[in-house]
Amino acid sequence: MPGKTYGYVRVSTRGQREDRQLAAMQEFGVPAEYIVIEKQSGKDFVRPLYLQLVGMLKPGDVLVVKSIDRLGRNYEEILEQWASLTKEKKAAIVVLDMPLLDTREGRDLTGTLIADIVLQLLSYVAQTEREFIRQRQAEGIAAAKERGVRFGRKRIPMPDRFEELALDWWFGYISAVQAGKELGISRSTFTRRAEEWGSSQGLAGERYSSASREDSCF
């Protein structure tokens, strides 16, 4: 007897819309009553609705997400969850925006191995990028000091979720007004610091508008 198909939809803030994710779930054929919508950060997997959904999964069930970043942001933890869901719970995972990440029954051994390899590659790329960013920042500071640049007093740190919301803003998931409200800072402060942060991460020139985001497949 075939298992149930569940959809997991996640947005980082209450101001974000989940319309595109829901449309993708419905197009895939996930029953409306089996779609779980959660408005919470993806920094880790300590999310009430996600944990409740995982607790309901049985062998043969399928978990559908639109994109891998809707499942989570931390690739190391995604790898752990992936192994737990597919190997311990014997459930399948389908990532709609990346057809190679599909572990449903009926796929041959090669397809399953490819899914594992792709996920490992994503994790490697993410880790490599983090290390590259840290190295680039360290080199930039060292070069500035050699030029005699004197660094002023320590800037006021941004709230814990700043980087996550800044990334969402860069890719058009959220407006500066919404992000500022979530963080408890002004729109102008968020925009200035998010632009500085994005430039330091090499995101200059990659800013999506909310309108163009609707037509992208990020």
DSSP at 130: H
The answer to whether the beta carbons of residues 50 and 38 sit under 8 Å apart is: yes
Based on its alpha-carbon atoms, the radius of gyration of the chain, rounded to whole angstroms, reads 20
Structure tokens at 36: 């779980």
**Residue 188 known to be catalytic:** no
Query: H-helix or E-strand containing 77?
Result: helix 75-83
Separation of alpha carbons 105 and 88, rounded Å: 15
Q: For CA atoms 208, 209, 210, 215, give the dihedral sign.
A: negative
Structure tokens at 186: 């002004």
Q: Is 49 exposed, middle or buried (0-12, 13-18, 19+ CB in 10 A)?
A: middle
Which residues are designated catalytic? 12
